[in-house]
Chain A
């Protein structure tokens, strides 16, 4: 006959706060270690783990949704008593099964970046928090910075990210808001370069020949694509085109310092890598109770900054600040609940 259990030891969720600090298992999962942002994320996780005398298990799934699910279900099939997971879901649709799995197995979960809008964190006990940056806001901020850089009027093109991700859509929506506010800026073209530096290079070259001197600015949904666009501009010998991106990866900051790039928006990888583990650790060890977390702290936008030539010096060497991970401080960077 059929049953709903996988048999064996069924675990209906662990008693919150029952874990001794040394029993906690910390897991950080990102796409891969071969890009600076996510590598820094995992390093931030390591830094936090060291702070509490533990080590972090680093998992990567190579941007492969199925593989992420596979790893998580395997992880949850092990000992989940005091498991804390800080997860970067590959896409919006990958979040629900992770949440359900954690809920059933009783592991503590914090997710970042991707979540379907209608999935409510407060409906769950083990899913402690969802953190993201306001993509619409970032898209708008750099859109405005770009408009300013080209003197308020002229043609721009947009390089979109992977089309079916929330981040790509939100950021593009932000650009559209910015365009509405700057009526003289015209969007000549939008193409996708899948968040990839290499693809952005090729697409930008083509757009440069297509639009020629009409093109005054390039809006890229992340810094990698912005850097690819910069390489294309350099090869075309164009110095009159402004470029903006999002993420504040080190190379982009250098480019802003050099003046070749106009603006980016900070997202603090090392902090993201630590904060998710910190929230989970605090709940697992009983220093924080799920019921006590305010509803607006269950799903929230983290603080972000527009970085331009004026303030770039403040961001060039991101440091993990141990104080951010104190149980009283874990929500200190909140910019409010996700609407």
Chain B
């Protein structure tokens, strides 16, 4: 279903401006969507478990700073170190959520402001340039000459996580937790563990998205990704994942991220004036969800 929304949107943009449907333009759009797709994919896991992760964008910003700061010392290991630290931070949030029983909304909202503050302080409130671009160069390559490596990686990540879910009992655990946490717990499923794992993966994805942003901007900055929070959550919902948990998939979020990206870059490029662009954006995301959500799976729409 989300694919239909994507195709319709693409068709509409092409009608508005026939030049939009060129291979170069599509490649650029797909490349643009990669960090958003990775952020959304990670957070989708948390949403599937019935929670929400509002810290992804701030964590992503923080990781760009960490990456830029560590690169001179750690060199090639920086990527792994940055993703690892982001994952660990995600895990800490997950632990705070399950151990202290604080709603995930609040934990991650708190996390959001804490990560922002830390990023601001350690970066001395400014961007950190990257001189040695070799560490991120691989992300700027193209697979087969057309598919941007960053998007390819995003697809790979989604595929890998989806496959692990599908082939192991994890998918059952995640869905059971999302649909009905108390039943899942009384069935002896590792609810707490699954939630912490979801937050960890979400953190790692934020880390990976950070690397992608750094490869694009040649710097790390304490507010670099902050504005990606709402688009990422919008991508999840536009993909048709139920915000109440249980129903949905990472693939849906990937498509959702493409839809949101097309809206963000497509509308202004085809010449919609900025005030109308916002009105259209609002109307289209609502319409897209109306199209993508499978209502037989989500009985009550909140």
Which residues, 84 to 101 on A, are CB-close (under 8 Å) to B? 91-94, 96-97, 100
Tell me which of A4, A60, A77, A92 contacts B268 (CB under 8 A). A60
Q: Mark B219-257, 1 if CB is under 8 A from A, else 0.
A: 111111101100000000000000000000000000000
CB interface residues, B 114-137, toward A, < 8 Å: 120, 123, 125-127, 129
Enumerate chain B residues within 8 angstroms of A1, measured Cβ to Cβ: 143-144
Known: A2-B142, A3-B145, A6-B28. A116 touches B268 (CB 8 A): no
In the complex, A254 has a CB within 8 A of chain B: no
A96/B126 in contact, CB under 8 A? no
Assess whether B265 is interfacial by the CB under 8 Å rule: yes
Closest to B227 in A: A64
A58 and B273 form a contact (CB under 8 A): yes
A77 touches B274 (CB 8 A): no
B125 touches A69 (CB 8 A): no
Q: Of B200-208, B210-218, B287-295, which binds chain A?
A: B210-218
Which residues of B sit under 8 angstroms from A59, Cβ to Cβ? 268, 274
Question: Do the beta carbons of A3 and B142 come within 8 Å of each other?
Answer: yes
Chain B nearest CB: distance from A325 CB in Å? 24
Query: Nearest chain A CB to B112's CB is how many angstroms away?
Result: 16
B227 contact set on A, CB distance < 8 A = 62-67
State whether A76 and B28 are in contact (beta carbons under 8 Å apart), knowing that A2-B142, A164-B127 are contacts in the complex.
Answer: yes
Q: Does B266 contact A (CB under 8 A)?
A: yes
- Provide the bound-state CA to CA distance between A246 and B225, in Å: 28
Measured between beta carbons, the chain B residues less than 8 angstroms from A67 are 227, 264-265
Are B24 and A8 in touch, CB under 8 angstroms?
Answer: yes
Task: Say which residue of B24, B35, B141, B218 sits within 8 Å of A77 (CB atoms).
Answer: B24
B74 at the interface (CB under 8 A from A): no
Cα(A44)–Cα(B135), bound, Å? 42
Q: How far is the CA of A59 from the CA of B127 in the complex (A)?
A: 24
**A295 at the binding interface (Cβ < 8 Å):** no
Give complex CA distance A9, B25 in Å.
11
Q: Could you tell me the dominant secondary structure of chain B's interface residues?
A: helix
Known contacts A78-B25, A164-B127; decide if A57 and B142 are in contact (CB<8 Å): no
Cβ of A33 under 8 Å from chain B: yes
A335 within 8 A of B: no
| B24, B29, B35 pick with most chain A CB within 10 angstroms | B24
- A77 engages B217 (CB within 8 Å): no
Q: Which residues of A in the span 147-187 have a Cβ within 8 Å of any Cβ on B?
A: 162-164, 166, 169
Using Cβ atoms and an 8 Å threshold, which residues of chain A touch B22?
8, 77-78
Judge whether A53 is part of the interface by a CB distance below 8 angstroms. Answer: no
A93 near B127 with CB under 8 A, answer yes
Q: Which residues of B have CB within 8 Å of A4?
A: 140-142
In the complex, which residue of chain B has the Cβ closest to the Cβ of A32? Answer: B274
Of A77, A92, A166, chain B has the most CB atoms within 10 Å of the CB of A77
- A317 interface hit (Cβ, 8 Å): no
Is residue A118 within 8 Å, beta carbon to beta carbon, of the partner chain? yes
**How far, in whole Å, are A266 and B144 apart by their CA atoms in the complex?**
52
How distant is A188 from chain B, measured CB to nearest CB, in Å? 21
B31 within 8 A of A: yes
Is there contact, CB below 8 Å, between B23 and A100?
A: no
| Closest chain B residue to A92, Cβ basis | B127
Name the B residues within 8 Å of A78 (CB-CB).
19, 22, 24-25, 269
User: Would you call B27 an interface residue if the criterion is a C-beta within 8 Å of the partner chain's C-beta atoms?
Assistant: yes
Which residues of A are found within 8 Å of B273, using beta-carbon distances? 58
The distance in angstroms between the C-alpha atoms of A65 and B127, with both chains bound, is 12
The answer to whether A96 and B140 touch across the interface, beta carbons within 8 angstroms, is no
Q: Which residue from chain A places its CB closest to the CB of B149 in the assembled complex?
A: A2
Q: How far is the CB of A97 from chain B (nearest CB, A)?
A: 5
Inside 8 A of A94's CB, which chain B residues have their CB?
Answer: 217
Q: Are B269 and A164 in contact (CB under 8 A)?
A: no
B146 in the interface, Cβ–Cβ < 8 Å?
yes
Instruction: Tell me the bound Cα distance from A169 to B125 in angstroms.
Output: 9
Is B261 an interface position by the 8 A CB rule? yes
Counting CB contacts under 8 A, is B93 at the interface? no
| B271, CB-defined interface residue at 8 Å | yes
Residues of A within 8 A of B29 (CB): 74, 77
Assess the A164–B222 pair: CB atoms within 8 A. yes
Question: Which one of A65, A77, A116 lies within 8 Å of B25 (CB-CB)?
Answer: A77
Which chain B residues numbered 47 to 90 have a C-beta less than 8 Å away from chain A? none
CB pair A2–B31 under 8 Å, yes or no, is: no
Given contacts A2-B143, A59-B268, A77-B29, 14 further A-B contacts (CB under 8 A): A3-B142, A4-B141, A6-B142, A6-B146, A7-B27, A7-B146, A33-B274, A60-B268, A66-B227, A70-B264, A73-B265, A91-B127, A92-B126, A163-B120
Residues of B with Cβ closer than 8 Å to A? 19, 22-25, 27-29, 31-32, 35, 120, 123, 125-127, 129, 138, 140-146, 148-149, 213, 216-225, 227-228, 261, 264-266, 268-269, 271, 273-275
Query: Can you spell out 21 A-B residue pairs with CB atoms less than 8 angstroms apart?
Result: A2-B141, A2-B142, A2-B143, A3-B145, A4-B140, A5-B145, A7-B23, A8-B23, A65-B224, A66-B227, A69-B217, A71-B264, A75-B269, A77-B22, A77-B25, A78-B19, A91-B221, A91-B223, A96-B219, A97-B217, A119-B129
